[in-house]
Structure 1
């Protein structure tokens, strides 16, 4: 019989009924009715073309045909249990692999992972620097954080606000722009690789930069930067994203709840 045609429900009922030699006790174990057990056994007998149980004056007895397959059946179920435990082992893993932009990791993510690690000292993090699209399969990722318009086809939640702030040094140059890939400023005095470098350049007095509020807020509150004008909506925000299988993992759910709180 092909693997795809195996009557697994019926075999599970057979295992229980054979151990108890009672449809009633098997039904109690399986949380079904004795009639349902009887129906499963009759259906299995029809599928296999053999009788599995006989009723005698002493009660229910296995036929020789049923006894011949029981050891292999029980070994098979033990293998199933081992397989399930192996697949569930990832759920209890304390290692989280996260892809995120370098500037976000330095200015926002690391401190929050530190807070989470204080709650569970067994946690371990593997951080991958990623500003472009990433392959979850190749990188064996649990979660990614991207600056995007929306989450696309993946599961995801946004973190922080969608606001960008125009910032500059409290006393430095503010007439010329500092450009980075998230803001192609006109005729910039300086071009840098990411928002974190743009913030540092602005704080150093080289000009003004338009950067995500999530990254700049700490420097503003610390007095390293001043805000110029009103916040701007660039249509971008940071998203926590993952394919559905990773998103459903208990460890990822906990991480997402912590980061998006």
Structure 2
């Protein structure tokens, strides 16, 4: 069934004017001018083909036709508010669905999420390993990606794009001549790798195990360096990619997402 077009803005003005029986007070409530209220009411009367208000010596009065639809209209507005609240339920929720690379979760994100939960004990997390997962299909709130910028998404850089060359402490000369290659990190010109892995996490594990040296994002290996599992051979120096917190604008505007982003980025 085809729905009748509803002039919702004019109906909201009509409701306010009916409650106050004053275009001026209705205008104050709606933050518009009395003339704008009068214009909306006239447009609504033209649309409905009926007179809603009459002016008397005592002031503004509703006509019988104007009063007859008010209860149903106000009930309708309550239903609208309930609908909006239902659609915003995810925003008010304490459940976070986050996509992040496995190695980054283990090295950096997990301890941060534990700290955030200490201050917010009611929250729960669901972690998705594929940081490139579709936000809608996976129902994501946030993703952490190693990229050179947020692209079409909203985002904040967790740390500057800095990289280091690392290897296991006390590595042999042979080990230090062996490169660990992984997607997204170009080796110095003329150098060849003897170890090829699929991602930054495997490169990190390979370097810690003493399989060779690797070019790594500083943020990812800081904990391993501090723990003595890796030593810095060169750097840090500026890199091309950094870890970014990203999300589409609707998620980015959610209060719960804003709170977590502020905490993880050091602004909370």
Normalising by the residue count of structure 1, what TM-score does the alignment of the two structures yield?
0.87
Q: Deviations over 1:58-112 (max 9, x none)?
A: 6544323223322321221111111222233222111111111111111011111
Aligned pair partner of 1:181 in 179, 183, 190: 183
Residue 39 of structure 1: CA displacement?
3.9
Residue 213 of structure 1: CA displacement?
0.7
Residue 47 of structure 1: CA displacement?
2.4
Q: CA 1:41–1:127 in structure 2 vs 1: closer, same or farther (change >3 Å)?
A: same
- Greater shift after overlay, 51-60 or 41-50? 51-60
The gaps in structure 2 that reach 5 residues or longer are none
Residue 189 of structure 1: CA displacement?
3.2
- Separation (CA, whole Å) in 1 of partners of 2:244 and 2:108: 13
Residue 227 of structure 1: CA displacement?
1.0
Residue 166 of structure 1: CA displacement?
1.1
- Greater shift after overlay, 50-59 or 209-218? 50-59
- Greater shift after overlay, 192-201 or 180-189? 180-189
Q: CA 1:222–1:18 in structure 2 vs 1: closer, same or farther (change >3 Å)?
A: same
CA RMSD of aligned residues (A): 2.4
Residue 33 of structure 1: CA displacement?
5.4
Q: Hey, what does 2:97 align to over in structure 1?
A: 97
- Greater shift after overlay, 57-66 or 100-109? 57-66
- Separation (CA, whole Å) in 1 of partners of 2:168 and 2:227: 12
Contact 1:101 1:129 in 2 (8 A): yes
- Greater shift after overlay, 89-98 or 175-184? 175-184
- Greater shift after overlay, 69-78 or 139-148? 69-78
Matches within 5 A, 1:90-129: 90-129=90-129
Matches within 5 A, 1:1-261: 5-23=5-23, 25-32=25-32, 36-56=36-56, 60-131=60-131, 133-172=132-171, 173-183=175-185, 185=187, 186-261=191-266
- Greater shift after overlay, 89-98 or 16-25? 16-25
Q: CA 1:51–1:215 in structure 2 vs 1: closer, same or farther (change >3 Å)?
A: same
The gaps in structure 1 that reach 5 residues or longer are none
Normalising by the residue count of structure 2, what TM-score does the alignment of the two structures yield?
0.85
Q: Secondary structure at the match of 2:146?
A: strand
Contact 2:53 2:63 in 1 (8 A): yes
Contact 2:153 2:248 in 1 (8 A): yes
Q: Secondary structure at the match of 1:196?
A: helix
Contact 1:98 1:143 in 2 (8 A): yes
Contact 2:91 2:256 in 1 (8 A): yes
